[in-house]
Amino acid sequence: MSTTHPRAVVTAPPTVPARRRKPGLRRKSAAPWAFLAPAIVLFALFLALPIGYAVYLSFRAEKVSGLGLGKGTRTEVWNGFTNYVNALSDPEFLASVGRVALYGLLVVPIMLGLALLFALLLDARRSRAKTFSRISIFLPYAVPAVISSLLWGFLYLPGVSPFYYVFDKLGWEVPSLFSSNLVIFAVANIAIWGGVGFNMVVIYTALKAIPTEMYEAAELDGCSQIQIATRVKIPSVIPSIIMTCVFSMIATLQVFAEPTTLKPLSNTISSTWTPLMKVYRDAFVRGDLNSAAATSVIIALATFVLSFGFLRLVQNRAFGQEK
């Protein structure tokens, strides 16, 4: 007697049609792009396209045939890197770079040092009138650079300044801050006066984020207020100090409003006193847009290299100390 087993029938699983995306999911995935679209459009129109157009102009030059008076006598031709070579070999541009470098060595350390000092003083337990002090220190930052330059400019003029009037009555002979040797200090003073408040607020905000337990532990260990500031507070706000330093370096390389506003009040500030002033002179006074574009690209690249290099240097040192 033989037994038969039913033959196993293997059937393929039914094909499941690919799930279509629900309309709600499509709307959710498109929602972020809808919110980002205005920012992307503005970025492309007012930042990306102007930068690309400046780079394009920097490789071009205007060719004039004849007297340049008739139609078609002025044409743009490919110029390669000639504009960049001319900019980097221009004595006026090199002199302006040297002035900005000295200006930065004056402004950045003093401004950040005062900002850190004021932030530590405001964060101290014994400080009084903190709200008034914060507003008083921050208020100069709210004043536009042109207005602050005009205010300080008239204070620098010996004929109208009340300070020079007092010095004259006291019999003191004080040199004019618009002299060729002191004008850089006059411009630096305006930048320091206006920039300390912003950097102070950034550092002070970082100080308020430090847990109070760290202060209590330091006090239990017998640390004084100065030791707490140097060993607890300052190391904790190093990232904020680095950020403000990068912002200050970028602002230093782009200084324009202060010397341009003071220029009519002094004969010692030329139209090429800073690199950006030279760009403005070449573009809007001489009408040489190609040379101005090449110089502006050089300034942008220098700003990127200095800021990025500074951040990499700080990161490498911090990484080495952690090891």
pLDDT tens-digit series, residues 201-211:
999 999 999 99
Q: Where are the domains of the chain?
A: 31-78, 82-322
Q: What mean pLDDT is predicted for residues 33-37?
A: 88
Region at 84 (left for phi over 0; alpha for psi -120 to 50; beta for the rest): alpha
- CA Rg, the chain, in Å? 31
Picking from 203, 302, 307, 204, the residue whose alpha carbon sits closest to that of residue 247 is 307
Percent of the chain whose pLDDT exceeds 90: 56
Distances (CA, A) of 41 to 27, 35, 37, 44, 82: 21, 11, 6, 5, 33
82-322 belongs to which CATH class? Answer: mainly alpha
Predicted confidence at residue 100, as pLDDT, reads 96
- Determine phi and psi for 286, rounding to 5 degrees: -90, -20
Give 208-238 as a DSSP string. HTS-HHHHHHHHHTT--HHHHIIIIIHHHTH
Q: How confident is the model at residue 14 (pLDDT cuts 50, 70, 90)?
A: low
pLDDT tens-digit series, residues 133-171:
889 999 999 999 999 999 999 999 988 889 888 988 888
- Does the structure show a pLDDT above 90 at 30? no
Q: Rounded to whole angstroms, how far apart are CA atoms 306 and 254?
A: 13
- Does the structure show a pLDDT above 70 at 185? yes
pLDDT tens-digit series, residues 274-321:
999 999 999 999 989 999 999 999 999 999 998 888 888 887 766 556
Q: How confident is the model at residue 76 (pLDDT cuts 50, 70, 90)?
A: confident
More confident of the two residues 7 and 301: 301
What pTM does this model have?
Answer: 0.83
Taking the CA of residue 146 as centre, how many other CA atoms within 13 Å lie in the half-sphere pointing to its CB?
Answer: 2
Q: How high is the mean pLDDT of the chain?
A: 86
More confident of the two residues 194 and 18: 194
Predicted confidence at residue 322, as pLDDT, reads 58
Q: What mean pLDDT is predicted for residues 102-109?
A: 96
Q: Rounded to whole angstroms, how far apart are CA atoms 257 and 148?
A: 10
- Does the structure show a pLDDT above 70 at 9? no
More confident of the two residues 127 and 190: 190
Predicted confidence at residue 1, as pLDDT, reads 44
Paired tokens of 172: 């003191």
- Determine phi and psi for 163, rounding to 5 degrees: -65, -45
With beta carbons less than 8 A apart as the criterion, state whether 61 and 83 touch: yes
Predicted confidence at residue 25, as pLDDT, reads 57
Q: End-to-end alpha-carbon separation of the chain, Å?
A: 83
Q: DSSP label at 265?
A: G
Which parts of the chain fold into alpha helices (H)?
A: 23-43, 49-58, 82-88, 91-123, 130-142, 145-156, 162-169, 183-208, 212-220, 225-228, 234-236, 238-253, 257-262, 275-280, 289-322
